[in-house]
A = this chain, B = another copy of it.
Amino acid sequence: MIPESRETWSLHPKLAADTVPVGDLPLSNVAAMNDANYPWLILTPRRGGAVELIDLVEADQARLMQEIAMVARALKAITACDKLNIGALGNLVPQLHVHIVGRRRGDAAWPSPVWGQTPRPYAPAAAARFVRQVQGQLEAAEDFRKAD
C-alpha cells in the first residue's frame, strides 16, 4: 500500500458533486463524470494539497502514469472509443485531478475538448451500469477497491 499523505485528503466538493464514485486505486480515487455525452473518468491522487502534477513526488508521478494507463485501457475496452482524451487542467477546481475521456467522432463536442461544454446528466440506471462496467474492468487490477 502507498501511504496516505499526512495532510488530510478528501475529494474536492465540486468533483464530488459532478461525479459518481467508482472506487480507489493505490494512489488515486476513481470517479465517473455525470455526463452521458461521453464516457469520462476522473483520477484524483489522494495527496493533500497537490495542485500540479509536479507537486507529486517522483514515485507518485510514476504510479499516476500507471493508473492513467490502467484506467485508459479499461475505458477503451468498455467503449471501443475512437480517441482517448487525457488531461490535467484544474483551471476551475484546483485539486490535482486527471480526466480520461473516451471520444467518438460526432460526439456532442467533437473535435473540440469536452471541458467547458454543458453536461447531460445520466439517468441513474445508466450511470450505475457504466460504473459497474468500469469496476468490472478494474477488478482485474491488483489493489482496486470498489466504492460502496
A70 to chain B, nearest CB (A): 9
> How would residues 75 to 114 of chain A score, 1 for a CB under 8 Å from any chain B CB and 0 otherwise?
0100000011111111110100000000100000011110
Copies of this subunit: 2
Which one of B69, B85, B112 contacts A87 once the chains associate, using CB atoms below 8 Å? B85
Interface flags for A36-57 (1: CB within 8 Å of B; 0: not) read 0000000000000001111000
A61 within 8 A of B: yes
**How many positions in chain A have a CB within 8 Å of any CB in the partner chain?**
33
Tell me the nearest residue of chain B to A115, going by C-beta. B113
Say if the beta carbon of A62 comes within 8 Å of chain B: yes
The complex places the Cα of A139 from the Cα of B68 at a distance, in Å, of 29
Interface residues of A (CB under 8 A from B): 51-54, 58, 61-62, 64-66, 68-69, 72-73, 76, 83-92, 94, 103, 110-113, 115-116
